[in-house]
Amino acid sequence: MDAFDILGRIITLTLFAATLRMATPVLFATLGGICSAHSGVFNVGLEGLLDLGAFFAVVGSVALGSPWAGLALAIVSCLVASLVFAVIHLELKAHEIIVGLALNLFAYGLTNYLLVAILKATGFYKSPLIIGFQPVNIPLIERIPIVGELLSGHSPLVYLGFLGVALAYVGLFKTPWGFHLRAVGENADAAEAVGINTRLMKYAGMLLSGALCGFGGAFLSLAYLNMFSENMTAGRGWLALAAVNFGEGRPLKSLVACLIFGFADALAIRLQQFGLPSQLVLMLPYVATLVVLILSAIQRSRKAEQVLESPPPAAKPVEV
């Protein structure tokens, strides 16, 4: 088997379809990070929010027998956690980075404790009682060669995630509410001077961040793995922060970074079939993260150089 045959076996339509699925939890967390960042709060607690969402999605699914109930409980749990984050940061004036890191540690410890206390399991919980999301076959599209295999047969949350990119773009850049949110993040004093309730907008951005992470966590446990295990988020919240940084807070640009991470994740799983060392293969998503951050730094450096090199605008003569 030559190199082209191996490459052909690795790069297939199923790889790109898996890329869409792998990118989904990171995409939800990225959209959440974008909403929070535009309100002026850098939310480093995305990892912990994903962890909470994944756990409570399983609890809701087992208790109520529906993946949608699990999704609802995941969203509620992340909203509560985000509200606590907001109160500690905005009312008690704690630093957002410290609060976010504390949230990550708290979520990891809480879910591990509740895994034993509620689900009576250690390390992981997998049961036929977990009702996960079923794939959706899109009429007509599923019959189209290539396109059907790529776009049809995914979980409903995959489609909601990519729809969320369009909704976030419209909401943030095409509505007065989005303008107010971004104004608060860019200059809170100026926004307050024109009558915008800055504290309310910050709460809104952080609660939206939590709700979107609830979607991402529910995808991990009810659509991707159909189980819960310790540390199942595997750093996806940190990948989301890198995507927010790369996209400079813009949903469409951040989507590109999420797809890169999703492709690296899907490729890592595919390469394991060829007997490569698992330690080497599992490095791929984090190597992709470094590449994205380097590209982001280069991009910002070029923009700064262009600003410095551009001549100042000529002064207009004053008519007397």
Q: How crowded is residue 258: how many other Cβ atoms within 10 Å of its Cβ?
A: 33
Q: Considering Cα of 277, then 279, then 282, then 285, what sign does the dihedral take?
A: negative
With vertex at residue 213, the alpha carbon angle to CA 208 and CA 214, rounded to the nearest 5 degrees, is 95
pLDDT on residue 18? 86
* Mean pLDDT of all residues in 274-298: 73
List the one residue out of 81, 79, 80, 56 whose CA is nearest residue 69: 56
137-194: per-residue pLDDT in tens? 888 887 888 788 888 888 999 999 999 999 999 999 999 999 999 999 999 999 999 8
Q: Which two tokens stand for residue 287?
A: 């190597």
Q: Establish if 4 belongs to a structural domain.
A: no
CA 38, chain centre distance (Å): 15
* CA–CA gap between residue 203 and residue 101 (Å, rounded): 19
Q: Establish if 75 belongs to a structural domain.
A: yes
* Mean pLDDT of all residues in 68-83: 96
Range from 33-37, 73-77, 149-153 carrying the lowest mean pLDDT: 149-153
* CA–CA gap between residue 307 and residue 302 (Å, rounded): 9
179-222: per-residue pLDDT in tens? 999 999 999 999 999 889 999 999 999 999 999 999 999 999 99
pLDDT on residue 314? 55
Whose tokens are 């190597």? That residue is 287
Q: Establish if 24 belongs to a structural domain.
A: yes
Question: In which band, very low, low, confident or very high, does the pLDDT at 268 lie, cut at 50, 70 and 90?
Answer: confident
Amino acid at 74: A
The H or E element that residue 125 is part of is strand 124-125
By the 8 A CB rule, do 138 and 151 touch? yes
* Mean pLDDT of all residues in 304-317: 62
Q: Establish if 287 belongs to a structural domain.
A: no
pLDDT on residue 221? 93
Distance between start and end Cα atoms, the chain:
83
Question: In which band, very low, low, confident or very high, does the pLDDT at 4 lie, cut at 50, 70 and 90?
Answer: very low
Residue of higher predicted confidence among 41 and 292: 41
Q: Establish if 304 belongs to a structural domain.
A: no
Residue of higher predicted confidence among 300 and 9: 300
pLDDT on residue 320? 43
- Calculate the average pLDDT of the chain: 86
Q: Is it the case that residue 20 has pLDDT exceeding 80?
A: yes
* Mean pLDDT of all residues in 54-68: 94
Q: Which two tokens stand for residue 243?
A: 């995507």
Q: Establish if 62 belongs to a structural domain.
A: yes
Q: Establish if 97 belongs to a structural domain.
A: yes
Q: How crowded is residue 55: how many other Cβ atoms within 10 Å of its Cβ?
A: 29
Q: Establish if 188 belongs to a structural domain.
A: yes
What is the residue range of 118's domain? 14-127+138-232
Q: Is it the case that residue 293 has pLDDT exceeding 80?
A: no
* CA–CA gap between residue 147 and residue 64 (Å, rounded): 36
Residues contacting 316, CB < 8 A, separation 6+: none
248-260: per-residue pLDDT in tens? 889 999 999 899 8
Range from 1-5, 78-82, 282-286 carrying the lowest mean pLDDT: 1-5
What's the total number of domains in the chain? Answer: 1
